[in-house]
Structure 1
Amino acid sequence: MAGSEIHDKTDISGKLSLPILTAMVVGSMVGSGIFSLPRTFGLATGPFGAIIAWIIAGGGMYMLARVFQFLAQRKPELDAGVYAYAKAGFGDYPGFLSALGYWIGSCIGNVSYWVLIKSTLGAFFPVFGDGNTVVAILVASVGIWLFHFMILRGIQQAAFINTVVTIAKIVPILVFILIMFIAFRADMFSANFWGGVDMPEASLFQQVRATMLVTVFVFLGIEGASVYSRHARSRKDVGTATLIGFAAVLCLMVLVTLLPYAVLPRAEIAEMRQPSMAAVLEAVVGRWGAIFVSVGLLVSVLGAYLAWSLICAEVLSIAAKTDDMPRVFARENANGVPAAALWATNIVVQVFVITTYWSSDAFALMLNLTSVMALVPFLLVAGYGVLMVRQGDSYVGQPAEQRRDLIFAAIALAYTVFLIFAAGLEFLVLSAVLYGPGTLLYLWARREQGKPGLFGRMIDYVIFALAVLGCVLGIWWLATGYITI
């Protein structure tokens, strides 16, 4: 039944149209992050710092979106987006690390969705706690495998479901924004503007830096259309969908962040339970507000989980088809779904869901770690954008366009470097704990192809040595309690 409905929005080959691709971008980005913004920003900064943070994040991510746009148009042969660009620009092993980081980061992001779902239910059913109780983990595990078997029925069907969910989940967010506008108090917004009262002192730079990882998290999905570029009806639609989706979501993020400062003191917002959007609305309109937003969150997060499950499997499958991951992950079932990659994805998600039992703040940990794992892939995409534009192969007779795209790529590269600095050493080391052992998959793929040696270039040995060093340091810090989860 769903297959016949999506057929109307695709061409006769079953390719994804612009509305479907745009929905994939919006659906990927509007997940758990937007519902956590009031408290997350309230802990870090007031309205002024939030405005500066969104200018930096919005500007940087816009430049990154433009890089995805011109790469999609000028390098149509690179079908897998994030992973393919890294490999084309920097070689096999960096390309593999990009695919690995993007895949594992997406898996961890899926874990954060389940944690927030159970935390949301915990506000009404204490047995779920903050999303990491035994009951919460068992219920999440059931959900993981229900989605798994639904997706195995076909990508087109799942994409249609995601489109419907994307439309449905926007409504509670828009209602929240409308109510915040109605309840807007200029005096409250002014009192909070420079940081509010009863909050610790921090420099503007410290305030902005504290928000950077969450802004990365809420923008993950900006590359959703790029990942599905091989399913697109037109390559031009990939870039257009990315920019439309980005603009719409940025507007929502800014409003959801700033408007609560006009109805409640910052100190009160900072102490709220996640999802804080529900808590803010409850404080303004009563209990029904929490229920209304919570229902919207459940729809939103489940839809985002569906989209990201698709993206995870797609990235792993494409990497296997290009011999950068073991070939087993390239296997597809009768419905054209990369079944082996999907199984690997959900096994990883299941393992991380179990580990949340030992975490003191599982949602914050998964949010930050997801963001950090995305930084290497985004850095390599921006770097490849600079290299490609400077080479100028696809800009013959177009000097103005070449200068414009070089500016976009250079700013995007500077932004991703700043994000890595803002993340801090702790989370970079934790990411190495995953990158180091994950390299075994690369070595497995090389052995399948009969390639000599562990790596093809000396620089690859250097990168691997740094990953192993970070991995060992991360394990040591975890064991000694220097880093706590």
Structure 2
Amino acid sequence: MKNTLTLTALTALVLSSMVGAGIFSLPQNMAAAASPVALIIGWSITGIGILFLALALLFLSRIRPDLDGGIFTYAKEGFGELIGFCSAWGYWLCAVIANVSYLVIVFATISFFTDINHNIIFGDGNTWKALIGESILLWFVHYLVLQGVQTASLVNKITTIAKLIPLGLFIILGIFSFKIKIFNSDFTGIELGIPIWEQVKRAMLITLWVFIGIEGAVVVSEKAKNRHDVGLATIFAVSCALIVYMLVTLLSLGILPREELAGIKNPSMAGLMVELIGPTGNIVIASGLIISVCGAYLSWIIMATEVPYIASKHKSFPNIFSKLNSNNTPYSSLWLTNIAIQISLILIWISGSNYNTLLLISSEMILIPYFLVGAFLTKTAFKTKNKKLLGIGFAASLYGLWLIYASGIMNLLFSLILYAPGILIFLYTRSQFSIKTPLKFFEKMISILIIITAIPTTIYLINQ
């Protein structure tokens, strides 16, 4: 059967794609950025914004069930051929680099069990031994996904449950160990010497990234058993993730004073677990991190594979990516994705890079597609004069603009380096499908602007 993903499988896909490695470093990251009161304000604003984005995805999945693939098809339907392609291209590249980072993080964490001072085996996940391990895991998952999305989603459900066990244990222990005196010791962040609103902004820069993956159910909506479940899965997963993130962050500030928590080595949750249950805590969290990242990796492989396939069906990617195997897996798209990941892993090994700059730039590429989701709902609601949907769409668009602004103009400019080669693929695809409709004036101007801006930005980045 083609439509095999249940509500549980869709929810697990979204939750697993959002809850990856970042949550295990949240305690230290947040403590270094803001005080308890600023974190409460920051999480509240983020929670409201992300729920509006989730609601936008919910209602679009119901009023436009014909638009499979969500992120890409909403952009193309609402704003034209070029914008739709850029949305798909940017999302796919973001997913590829995210998967590279997950593989590197897995083996960097395994080094916790294998490496000693004078015997570095996996290091930061960029040694030749790590490359071999990452490549084996990469092609094993490739084989798994080739067996069909139902097989992969079953494994994903198992890893999602497994990753919630150490997180649940941390939260339970944190509740019993929480001390209000410690939590209130620097409630407004006087020792930080930064105004409350600046603390809120710093905290929200961290929360920008922890919800990436919210679109997972929409991306694979074509394979949902019931289209009505797509939006529900998104709401369920986002609500669960928001609760877990807030509990992990705020409970941590009641276990150790903020300034002490800010100095803990990441993954900081491991250090906190040592405080709670002794040396075993390191093993519990390191194991949980590996399982969590592997689950997130599997989710993102599924989503990364789906985007070129859907885009090809809509004549926005070359025709070869629309091909399916006997298990209804878009195998050409899967091969493209995993070859790109393998090349990236080799480059990381050669350069000794920790991939952070590329990951930051690629993450920027997903923010514009998020904004376009809210903008498309706003446009749709305006045409139908539906005030409720108009309000949700406007709020989601506003939150999307905030994400782009908060991440920084330089990261937006750097992302154009990755968009520029996509323009050539876009033009080739139009030629392959013999699309005769001329590009609109604004599409031509955007294409030229991307290419022109990418050249000096590339030179600037090389010279840094």
TM-score, structure 2 normalization:
0.93
1:472 paired residue number: 455
Q: CA deviation at 1:115?
A: 2.6
Task: State the AA in 1 paired with 2:336.
Answer: A
Give the counterpart of 1:302 among 294, 300, 312.
294
- The superposition leaves residues 135-185 of structure 1 with CA deviations (integer Å, 9 ceiling, x where unpaired) of 333322221122112211111111111112111211110001111112112
Q: Work out the CA distance in 1 between the residues paired with 2:415 and 2:254.
A: 37
- Within-5 A mapping of 1:290-439: 290-357=282-349, 358=351, 361-362=354-355, 364-365=356-357, 368-392=360-384, 402-439=386-423
- The superposition leaves residues 77-105 of structure 1 with CA deviations (integer Å, 9 ceiling, x where unpaired) of 10111101000000010000000111111
Task: Call closer, same or farther: CA 1:45–1:385 in 2, change over 3 Å.
Answer: same
- The superposition leaves residues 238-270 of structure 1 with CA deviations (integer Å, 9 ceiling, x where unpaired) of 111111111111100111111111112333333
* Secondary structure of the structure 1 residue equivalent to 2:218: helix
1:49 paired residue number: 38
Task: Pick which of 297-306 and 20-29 moved more.
Answer: 20-29
- The superposition leaves residues 391-429 of structure 1 with CA deviations (integer Å, 9 ceiling, x where unpaired) of 00xx7xxxxxx2111111101101111111111122112
Aligned residues: 458
Q: Work out the CA distance in 1 between the residues paired with 2:428 and 2:2.
A: 35
2:179 paired residue number: 185
Q: Work out the CA distance in 2 between the residues paired with 1:360 and 1:274.
A: 19
1:3 paired residue number: none
Task: State the AA in 2 paired with 1:462.
Answer: M
Task: Call closer, same or farther: CA 1:89–1:13 in 2, change over 3 Å.
Answer: closer
Task: State the AA in 1 paired with 2:416.
Answer: A
Q: CA deviation at 1:202?
A: 3.1
Task: Call closer, same or farther: CA 1:135–1:202 in 2, change over 3 Å.
Answer: farther
- The superposition leaves residues 346-371 of structure 1 with CA deviations (integer Å, 9 ceiling, x where unpaired) of 12222333344547653x54553343
Give the counterpart of 2:139 among 137, 145, 148.
145
Give the counterpart of 1:209 among 177, 201, 204.
201
Q: CA deviation at 1:191?
A: 1.9
1:31 paired residue number: 20
Pair 1:250 & 2:236 matched: no
Give the counterpart of 1:105 among 94, 108, 129.
94
Contact 2:106 2:290 in 1 (8 A): yes
CA-based RMSD: 2.0
2:104 paired residue number: 115
Q: Work out the CA distance in 1 between the residues paired with 2:176 and 2:248.
A: 14
TM-score, structure 1 normalization:
0.89
1:276 paired residue number: 268
Q: Work out the CA distance in 2 between the residues paired with 1:236 and 1:273.
A: 43
2:445 paired residue number: 462
Q: CA deviation at 1:440?
A: 1.8
Q: CA deviation at 1:317?
A: 0.6
Q: CA deviation at 1:338?
A: 0.7
2:56 paired residue number: 67
* Secondary structure of the structure 1 residue equivalent to 2:43: helix
Task: Call closer, same or farther: CA 1:14–1:46 in 2, change over 3 Å.
Answer: same
Q: CA deviation at 1:132?
A: 2.9
Q: Work out the CA distance in 2 between the residues paired with 1:408 and 1:355.
A: 43
1:6 paired residue number: none
**Structure 2 stretches lacking a partner, 5+ long:** none
Q: CA deviation at 1:311?
A: 0.5
Contact 1:433 1:471 in 2 (8 A): yes
Give the counterpart of 2:75 among 83, 86, 90.
86
Q: Work out the CA distance in 2 between the residues paired with 1:472 and 1:218.
A: 31
Task: State the AA in 2 paired with 1:83.
Answer: F
Pair 1:165 & 2:126 matched: no
Task: State the AA in 2 paired with 1:29.
Answer: M
Q: CA deviation at 1:109?
A: 1.3
* Secondary structure of the structure 1 residue equivalent to 2:327: coil
Contact 1:212 1:423 in 2 (8 A): no
Q: Work out the CA distance in 2 between the residues paired with 1:35 and 1:370.
A: 21
Q: CA deviation at 1:213?
A: 4.4
Q: Work out the CA distance in 2 between the residues paired with 1:336 and 1:13.
A: 7
